[in-house]
Structure 1
Amino acid sequence: MSAEQILTQDFGTLADVIREQAKDLGAQAALVDANRTISYAELDELMDRIAVALQRDGLKTADVAAVCATTSAEYGATFFGILRAGAIVAPLAPSSTADSLVMMLNDCGAKVFFLDAGVAKQLEGVADQITAKRVALDGSSAGVPFEEWLAPKGSKPEPVTIDPDQGFNIIYSSGTTGAPKGIVQPHRMRWGQIRRGAYPMGAVTMVSTPLYSNTTLVSYLPTISNGGTAVLMPKFDAEQFLKLSEKHRVTHAMLVPVQYRRIMERADFDSYDLSSFQMKFSTSAPFSPEIKADVLKRWPGGLVEYYGMTEGGGSCGLVAHEHPDKLHTVGKPLPGHDIRLIDEDGKEVAQGEIGEVVGRSGAMMVGYHNQPGKTSEAEWYNPEGLRFIRTGDVGRFDEDGFLTLMDRKKDMIISGGFNIYPSDLEAEIVLHEAVLEAAVVGVLSDKWGETPVAFVALKPGQTVTPDALREWVNAKLGKTQRLADLQLVDQLPRSHIGKVLKRELRDAYKGTATA
């Protein structure tokens, strides 16, 4: 059966698809990084050697192997090799604290741990708490060198049978702050994403976000399953992104909004030949309408924004090049996705009203690993008993069925009994000519219970005093919305996928909010 035939089935496995692609595509590049290119034939053989080595080390179907390293061709191949062994992949963030990494490794029960020298150095103080066998992807002393660990060329793994509801990967929701939750995504969920068809045969995709991120995987996996080429960046850099895009004639890319901003801000952007681009995607964080419009104007190819959760549930898509009048929205529910809005009592709100976004589709997590209580909190059941995933986001559908997001539910500010949506205030602040970006959080207030405080980063070379900017903004806001304080910062703290870390701003606030 060909790869194309497998992809038409209701269920199949990525490992089987790659094996069939290798028969047809042979010498075509599958993975490209700064050091090497791996063809489809080489990738298929390497996956076999990885799978055999894992089975030799005792991994059985549905056991877990973890990976924590800088993006590389070896990392990309290892992800697929783990799947071919029938095991579950747990990709971990190198930016996590040492204690968080140990916790995640123990939580997922990883039997083999792939890492590199940088991660090994970070773990020096807690290395004795790690029981998994360590394999060094970069050939360093971080573990058994990858090439030595691999099974001999020509080795073939024992065949495995995969249940559609078996875990494909475990992605941890946080590794920098808070207690990470392991999101178990099943093979069935990933198969649906692979078959979505957004990446055509022969696509050349720039992979500029880390391989441990769900943002990356929804782009990386279908690129390879459909016989494309993934160009892997170890770390995002706007100039390098543009140079590599021109060099490799890139056709597709998944970027987070802050990456788009940094690319479009470059004075030399228009000097690069980006005519090969067919489609660009974005997800993971709020994407300003102004930047979307600039991308549509100056960057060849279409632009699609996806809204959804790593946990799955319902997703929306905005085909921006077809709906330039809806750039303030995240689009409509994707085919087969059911999106509802509910109130504080768990009842659906009327058309046009604001509510928490919940969603249901064929792409839903099994649950949080070893945390049934947290799983239950993330679920909502409608009167017919159908399971939805709660997003924690607040939004509203317009008369055309497009969803506009307000804020995270936990970020909404209740001041003197009035609901204040930080996004409304942020939208006003960034209208000032000196402002690059802004984030508004609620802080405790004796007078109002909560009150809004803004953190603002200015454009290079611009100056304005905090008091003058606050006065300017408050003149444009309603009485209940006015900022109690405004602080200038060099930059807003962000996660690895560009989300502003509002909790860090809230926790670090040292000012006095009396208004």
Structure 2
Amino acid sequence: MNDFERAIGRDFGVIAELVHLHAGQSPDRPALADAQRSLSYGALDALMDRIAASLQRDSLQAGDAIAICAASSVNYAAIFLGALRAGIAVAPLAPGSTPASLARMIEDAGARLLFVDAAAAETIGTAAAPSVPRIAIDGSTAGGDFEAWLAPAGSAPAPVRPEPSWPFNIIYSSGTTGEPKGIVQGHGMRWAHVRRGAKYEYGPETVTLLSTPLYSNTTLVVFFPTIAFGGCVVLSPKFDAAGYLKLAERLRVTHTMLVPVQYQRLMARPDFDAHDLSSFRFKFSTSAPFNAALKADVLARWPGGLIEFYGMTEGGGTCILEAHLHPDKLHTVGQPAEGSDIRLVDESGREVPVGEAGEVVGHSAGMMVGYHRQPEKTREVEWFDASGKRFIRTGDVGRFDADGFLTLFDRKKDMIISGGFNIYPSDLETVLRGHPAVADVAVVGVPSEQWGETPVAFVVRREGDATDDNTLLQWTNAQLGKTQRLARLNFVDELPRSAIGKVLKRELREREAR
């Protein structure tokens, strides 16, 4: 057993130390790449040392935080990893947020330094967090020069040994509504994600292509296992379906993380089957509903296994669907992962019997410490069983089948109550997707004097189709029960989505209210 095998076999370890082990064993093996440059493990390890030493020189201590607001790049990834080596938490911020939100996130995180690129700096503006020093990671004038900030080559930081409870990162998420909340994830949580990587064949030969952003937990659940097992991460800051396929074929990519809308766009390309994707071992998806028909298409036409993760950035348990092993369960999000305790509770907080629907709550070793500086928000999402065991509420409504697979219906807040009946928008969306005119769809509830709420559909028409809205509305309502029928159907050019593909239903409800 070599040093790496001993390290990865421990109940708890430090990801930054694994990079050092890979650098010692295979210093020339590729670790990170973007369109401009690449780094070997030896070069990455040395750069992480310089970054950690620079942070310590600037008087940052273990438990302090930095913020990064930029497009994905080699420098971004190296700064993240280097901060971890010094025991410093990272707050990766979404550049697409509003200036006001970014200012609040920087302040809430208590960020001592802000690493930016030119585009993010323009969004943030000069008024936000004026006391926090900025460092430009892209060679621009958005802040101090990154190369000048770095400690001299060969510098080494004072050794730091993180504990499982120490903050690893602070992920800001408001879901699709509300004020951003800082989700504090510990080193222990990330280590739990890394250790399951062996099951998915991560290793020195891994080439992982990522075109989701590094500020998203979606990306990080694949990024860190790739690095921990000594593979190479290729960062593509923007997703382009044609470019993705060409790059995947040329680099002989083995692993990837994509959100469902990206799978949808890839599979819809007429030249998809012309690309050689035989190098793929595993493809992953999370963050948004992944409909069964699309999963089946991916399985039929794209080599390698397909894994869907269901869980929250807050942690509290994960369900995993190994779609290639369970083609009859594609309508589900799989079974609870090892070490995850997933239960369903009713409105009163009581557990429901198998076969009944309830809110999904979960417990695992990988749970957030809490929302940063928001104990009352933390308490709102906690549920405790009779023994006092802590669970995290997901806000999702689901039901377990007899085989222990979880089927999700909808976000609890998105459920429509019309005339006293519960309507799950996902049921209506499934019916609409069965019509050849429909390329994409979302259903929301809007106020109704007669029923309290009533369902309205927003549909993206398939290219070249000429079906009118009334025809599609009548067809849909003919397939639905009386209490489920749509009040209106609107054709739209596209659905509003977050950067990781979640449909922003709040925006659709606001649009309908105008």
Same fold judged by TM-score > 0.5? yes
Alignment of 1:218-257 (within 5 A): 218-257=221-260
Tell me the residue number matched to 1:8: 9
Q: Aligned-pair distance for 1:125?
A: 5.0
Q: Deviations over 1:281-315 (max 9, x none)?
A: 11111001111111111111111111010000111
Q: Deviations over 1:315-348 (max 9, x none)?
A: 1111111111111111111111111000000000
Q: Does 1:426 align with 2:423?
A: no
- Cα distance in 1, alignment partners of residues 6 and 68 from structure 2: 31
Q: Deviations over 1:106-142 (max 9, x none)?
A: 0000001100011111122524x33211110001111
- Cα distance in 1, alignment partners of residues 452 and 125 from structure 2: 45
- Cα distance in 2, alignment partners of residues 46 and 70 from structure 1: 19
Q: Aligned-pair distance for 1:504?
A: 0.6
- Cα distance in 2, alignment partners of residues 453 and 411 from structure 1: 12
Tell me the residue number matched to 1:61: 62
- Cα distance in 1, alignment partners of residues 213 and 201 from structure 2: 19
Q: Does 1:284 align with 2:284?
A: no
Report if aligned partners of 2:176, 2:504 keep a CA contact under 8 Å in 1. no
**TM-score of the superposed pair, with normalisation by structure 2:** 0.98
Tell me the residue number matched to 2:381: 378
- Cα distance in 2, alignment partners of residues 265 and 251 from structure 1: 21
Tell me the residue number matched to 1:396: 399
Report if aligned partners of 2:63, 2:87 keep a CA contact under 8 Å in 1. yes
- Cα distance in 2, alignment partners of residues 437 and 124 from structure 1: 35
- Cα distance in 1, alignment partners of residues 237 and 163 from structure 2: 33
Secondary structure in structure 2 of the residue aligned to 1:113: strand
Report if aligned partners of 2:136, 2:146 keep a CA contact under 8 Å in 1. yes
Count of paired positions: 510
Q: Does 1:109 align with 2:103?
A: no
Structure 2's unaligned 5+ residue stretches are none
Q: Aligned-pair distance for 1:60?
A: 0.4
Report if aligned partners of 1:102, 1:130 keep a CA contact under 8 Å in 2. no
Tell me the residue number matched to 1:134: 134
AA of the residue aligned to 1:507: E
Q: Does 1:211 align with 2:240?
A: no
Secondary structure in structure 2 of the residue aligned to 1:509: helix
**CA 1:199/1:190 → structure 2, altered by over 3 Å: closer, same or farther?**
farther
Tell me the residue number matched to 2:337: 334
Tell me the residue number matched to 1:313: 316
- Cα distance in 1, alignment partners of residues 176 and 407 from structure 2: 29
Report if aligned partners of 2:177, 2:506 keep a CA contact under 8 Å in 1. no
Tell me the residue number matched to 2:479: 476
Alignment of 1:400-415 (within 5 A): 400-415=403-418
Q: Aligned-pair distance for 1:176?
A: 8.1
Q: Aligned-pair distance for 1:177?
A: 5.6
- Cα distance in 1, alignment partners of residues 463 and 88 from structure 2: 48
Tell me the residue number matched to 2:325: 322
Alignment of 1:260-299 (within 5 A): 260-299=263-302
AA of the residue aligned to 2:191: W
Once structures 1 and 2 are overlaid, which stretch shifts more, 168-177 or 367-376?
A: 168-177
- Cα distance in 1, alignment partners of residues 174 and 70 from structure 2: 16
Q: Aligned-pair distance for 1:244?
A: 1.1
Secondary structure in structure 2 of the residue aligned to 1:111: strand
AA of the residue aligned to 1:99: A
Q: Aligned-pair distance for 1:158?
A: 0.9
Q: Deviations over 1:482-510 (max 9, x none)?
A: 11111111111111111111011011114
Secondary structure in structure 2 of the residue aligned to 1:392: strand
Report if aligned partners of 1:97, 1:175 keep a CA contact under 8 Å in 2. no
Q: Aligned-pair distance for 1:437?
A: 1.4
Q: Deviations over 1:125-169 (max 9, x none)?
A: 524x33211110001111111111111000010111312101000
Q: Aligned-pair distance for 1:174?
A: 3.3
- Cα distance in 2, alignment partners of residues 254 and 55 from structure 1: 34
Secondary structure in structure 2 of the residue aligned to 1:211: coil
- Cα distance in 1, alignment partners of residues 139 and 14 from structure 2: 30
Tell me the residue number matched to 1:349: 352
Tell me the residue number matched to 1:194: 194
Q: Deviations over 1:222-281 (max 9, x none)?
A: 100100000110111111111111111110111110010111111111111111101111
AA of the residue aligned to 1:434: A
AA of the residue aligned to 2:503: V
Tell me the residue number matched to 1:466: 469
Tell me the residue number matched to 1:81: 82
Secondary structure in structure 1 of the residue aligned to 2:75: helix
**CA 1:286/1:313 → structure 2, altered by over 3 Å: closer, same or farther?**
same
CA RMSD, 1 decimal: 1.2
AA of the residue aligned to 2:510: D
**CA 1:67/1:411 → structure 2, altered by over 3 Å: closer, same or farther?**
same
Report if aligned partners of 2:176, 2:506 keep a CA contact under 8 Å in 1. no
**TM-score of the superposed pair, with normalisation by structure 1:** 0.97
- Cα distance in 1, alignment partners of residues 409 and 448 from structure 2: 23
Report if aligned partners of 1:111, 1:131 keep a CA contact under 8 Å in 2. no
Report if aligned partners of 1:394, 1:406 keep a CA contact under 8 Å in 2. yes
Once structures 1 and 2 are overlaid, which stretch shifts more, 252-261 or 157-166?
A: 157-166
Q: Aligned-pair distance for 1:353?
A: 0.3
Report if aligned partners of 1:457, 1:489 keep a CA contact under 8 Å in 2. yes
- Cα distance in 1, alignment partners of residues 164 and 305 from structure 2: 33
Q: Deviations over 1:367-393 (max 9, x none)?
A: 000000110011100011100010000
- Cα distance in 2, alignment partners of residues 509 and 125 from structure 1: 35
Secondary structure in structure 1 of the residue aligned to 2:479: coil
Tell me the residue number matched to 1:169: 169
Secondary structure in structure 2 of the residue aligned to 1:362: coil
- Cα distance in 2, alignment partners of residues 201 and 358 from structure 1: 33
AA of the residue aligned to 1:200: Y
Secondary structure in structure 1 of the residue aligned to 2:12: coil
Secondary structure in structure 1 of the residue aligned to 2:111: coil
Q: Does 1:25 align with 2:50?
A: no
Tell me the residue number matched to 2:304: 301
